[in-house]
Chains A and B, each alone.
Chain A
């Protein structure tokens, strides 16, 4: 909506210049910006909220200005000289749908001469971006710009049986509803008749046709002093309240100790409750003039349910060098299906087929982020995303789970003067996951990484596995299927993991308990053994732990070899065992005894031989 500064000045006397006016209107809720400023006039563009159609005409804006500056809105005197016969004897108006059109008024002007408008009118319309057409059309537009009310001029000879029928729209026709504009309508009718006569001559027939089947009853509203003060946190002077209400053309019907009884004008259909009146007072008293304080609070505050898990995961991954990405949960159905067996929840009205389902995995998004960077020359990447995945739990019942997804590719170390390049391997990722999940025990349960033959097909069939904690499945990890990577034109190994956040809650639920730091030295022993090639390190470790040696502090493999002088199908593995007691220094004999027990267990379990 564009308004003319000069036109507004004709309706209300005020001193503010265009910029000041725009700022003051903005501060009372009618956002205005000066878009053109010249010597004779300035134009303001208004950005109106949907509750304020009353400001679609200059008169409504002028009412705000009058209230803002404590001025009087000039009313327009319209006097018509009518002649016989009466309008209603020559034409009729029928309203078929009073719900959409409460009221329709018409007048007849006979003998008009259609021609160009005078300069003052065509220039005024032109400056408001409305193209002047002829005196009749221009008159209707002028009235629209003044009252904010649409009026139409019809050629009576072209109207069937001189009868106007207002009906519901058919076949997508647009019907202007006249809700909430009765006041402007009355004003507009008088004005248009006078203006047409002034511009195009002719004579105005007697009386309007005023078809008003949907008469509105708007009971007055009580605005309580106590309520006003309680909501605004300030007692506003009673005279000021009345001044604002009257100036906005609300009628203060009664004022007493309790408050004011206020009649509601049809020009302001958005106001119908006490709270609406409170807003009118606040608006014109000025939000900026109301005090501000920080309220006291007796209650406590709670963190989000996922707060601790999210914080721990994020902190650790940042330290490990992963950068956080965020992607849209709306993804391509076909792409998503590559990362799981169940189809995701479809959107009925997607923006495009590429954003048609709710993701069931974070990996497509991580891969898309990789692809974006890869195509821009960034070949080494370490990223994570924390986000939700979605699915139907039952028909009509959806489920949402938070996960963390990890993705690494390229080089762990680039070539530098200090050393050669080193590519990421599956065990770099596994190490990161182990660090991420520390302390990786829950009671007697430990985080385990296991091969699994029912992994989804987006994982490499030879280099991927499951992450478990007791019976719970935390997620999966490994090398992504090279075919899926090739779809994104990525020709290097990509390693990824996806873990359910809710499963991690128990890992970090309790605060750490400090234990005594050993005061007596530990004994470290290295054992090199030879076992069958299919015995895993995990098997060896559990065989060692099964000896139940209380003094066994840690066990770690540090060498692994095959071939050479070893017989075919055998492998050599060297493990470092650390023994320690909290209450005394261990003796060499103790350590020898433990070594023997460990060896015996390995020999029994796997036929392990000590290597010379």
Chain B
């Protein structure tokens, strides 16, 4: 009897493993527990023929097996059910075109992008990045830069004053002066930062804006090095195909001075509205450092020469990203910022 039971257990386990559906499960139930002809039912009916001494023991085993069948069947039923639900629901509702659960990415401000690009380009060719105060003395902002007392830039209408001797710097050139006072040549620095001019805001003017000024001083720097450096920078910033043009101009602290143009990024130089049909866009002012500026900081202009340049970050961003109004940079409209 017990051997029969052991064989039955084995065959049940095998049968159960085969069962894949509710229908197969009920057939299985019938096969083992069916009132007529169920294999365990038959075995239980044969209990009477077991010796009395063993009957209790064998009976308990049979009952245990019956209970085991019941729980195993129930577990299998649940498994089959949930599997079929899963399969069913997958067939009906899996819609890969539904949007995923996105995490919003933050956006770097376009002016920071431009400032970083410029810093990286110059850092890569040996320029240190220097910082200085935005609240400056009139000496560093004007006198030391060869800007005389009666120059219109010093007027109350052009410069924000905090006291008679303190003002909001109108360029980052004071940082260059401070650096030249502190360090002896050779030196290469760029000075990025916020500057202030008393301009009424419009599409191209902002009373607060950002600038990067650069300075290189060494024993053998020439106009040729100045041109090469500007070309390298502008091609790296805009694109390798950018053409660069140098025109004579006039600034107080450089001589010879140059206005630097690039081939128009909007029409590739063919001529359009932005470049006023000239094919060129003015991007920066620069030149060889005026000997007078060297004299102010005690650098021997016979021994050292150098060049300096100034870049408007907003202007660079407007050209690079096609922004038509400088005010966009400071309104912080997310619809604008998210594009960068």
Give A residues with C-beta under 8 Å from B. Answer: 26-29, 31, 33, 49-52, 230-234, 273, 275-276, 278-279, 282-283, 287-288, 290-295, 297-307, 314, 317-330, 345-351, 355, 358, 369, 372-373, 376, 378, 381-384, 388, 390, 396, 398, 400, 416-419
Q: How large is the interface on B (under 10, 10 to 19, 20 to 34, 35 or more residues)?
A: 35 or more
B contact face: mostly helix, strand, loop, or mixed: mixed
List residues of chain B with CB within 8 A of the CB of A29.
247-250
Whether A396 lies near B258 (C-beta < 8 A) is no
Whether A233 lies near B223 (C-beta < 8 A) is yes
In the assembly, what is the distance between CA of A406 and CA of B322, in Å?
A: 28
Checking A50, A351, A372 against B250 with a beta-carbon cut-off of 8 angstroms, the contacting residue is A50
Whether B162 lies near A416 (C-beta < 8 A) is no
Whether A288 lies near B106 (C-beta < 8 A) is no
- Say yes or no for B30: interface residue by CB 8 A criterion: no
In the assembly, what is the distance between CA of A396 and CA of B223, in Å?
A: 41
Q: Which of B203-228 contact A (CB under 8 A)?
A: 206-208, 216, 218, 220-225, 227-228
Q: Which of B76-128 contact A (CB under 8 A)?
A: 98-99, 101, 103-109, 111-112, 119, 123, 125-128
Whether B123 lies near A382 (C-beta < 8 A) is no
Pull 16 A–B residue pairs with CB atoms less than 8 Å apart, ordered by A: A52-B250, A231-B223, A278-B256, A290-B227, A300-B128, A303-B129, A304-B131, A307-B129, A317-B106, A321-B105, A325-B332, A325-B337, A376-B333, A378-B334, A416-B99, A417-B99
Given contacts A233-B223, A324-B337, A347-B162, contact A372 B249 (CB under 8 A): no
In the assembly, what is the distance between CA of A320 and CA of B107, in Å?
A: 10
- Write the chain A residue with the least CB distance to B276: A33
- Nearest CB on B from A502, distance (A): 12
Given contacts A276-B255, A378-B334, contact A318 B161 (CB under 8 A): no
- Nearest CB on A from B59, distance (A): 42
Checking A282, A318, A323 against B338 with a beta-carbon cut-off of 8 angstroms, the contacting residue is A323
Whether A348 lies near B163 (C-beta < 8 A) is yes
Given contacts A304-B130, A400-B134, contact A275 B255 (CB under 8 A): yes
- Write the chain A residue with the least CB distance to B258: A287
In the assembly, what is the distance between CA of A373 and CA of B125, in Å?
A: 41
In the assembly, what is the distance between CA of A6 and CA of B335, in Å?
A: 52
In the assembly, what is the distance between CA of A283 and CA of B218, in Å?
A: 23
Whether A327 lies near B330 (C-beta < 8 A) is yes
In the assembly, what is the distance between CA of A318 and CA of B103, in Å?
A: 11
- Write the chain B residue with the least CB distance to A419: B101
Pick from B8-16, B32-40, B44-52, B186-194 the stretch touching chain A. B186-194
Given contacts A303-B123, A345-B135, A388-B134, contact A372 B207 (CB under 8 A): no
In the assembly, what is the distance between CA of A328 and CA of B198, in Å?
A: 13
Whether B288 lies near A28 (C-beta < 8 A) is no
Interface string of B240-281 (1 = CB under 8 A from A): 000001111110000111100000000000000000101000
In the assembly, what is the distance between CA of A402 and CA of B62, in Å?
A: 83
- Nearest CB on B from A21, distance (A): 14
Whether B218 lies near A295 (C-beta < 8 A) is yes
Whether B249 lies near A301 (C-beta < 8 A) is no
Apart from A323-B106, A351-B198: 14 A-B pairs, beta carbons within 8 A: A27-B245, A28-B248, A275-B255, A287-B248, A292-B227, A293-B224, A297-B186, A321-B105, A345-B135, A346-B162, A347-B162, A350-B160, A383-B334, A400-B133
Whether B224 lies near A369 (C-beta < 8 A) is no
Whether A390 lies near B135 (C-beta < 8 A) is yes
List residues of chain B with CB within 8 A of the CB of A302.
128-129
List residues of chain B with CB within 8 A of the CB of A279.
248, 255-257
- Say yes or no for B331: interface residue by CB 8 A criterion: yes
In the assembly, what is the distance between CA of A278 and CA of B288, in Å?
A: 11
Whether B329 lies near A326 (C-beta < 8 A) is yes
In the assembly, what is the distance between CA of A319 and CA of B105, in Å?
A: 6
- Say yes or no for B229: interface residue by CB 8 A criterion: yes
Whether B162 lies near A295 (C-beta < 8 A) is no
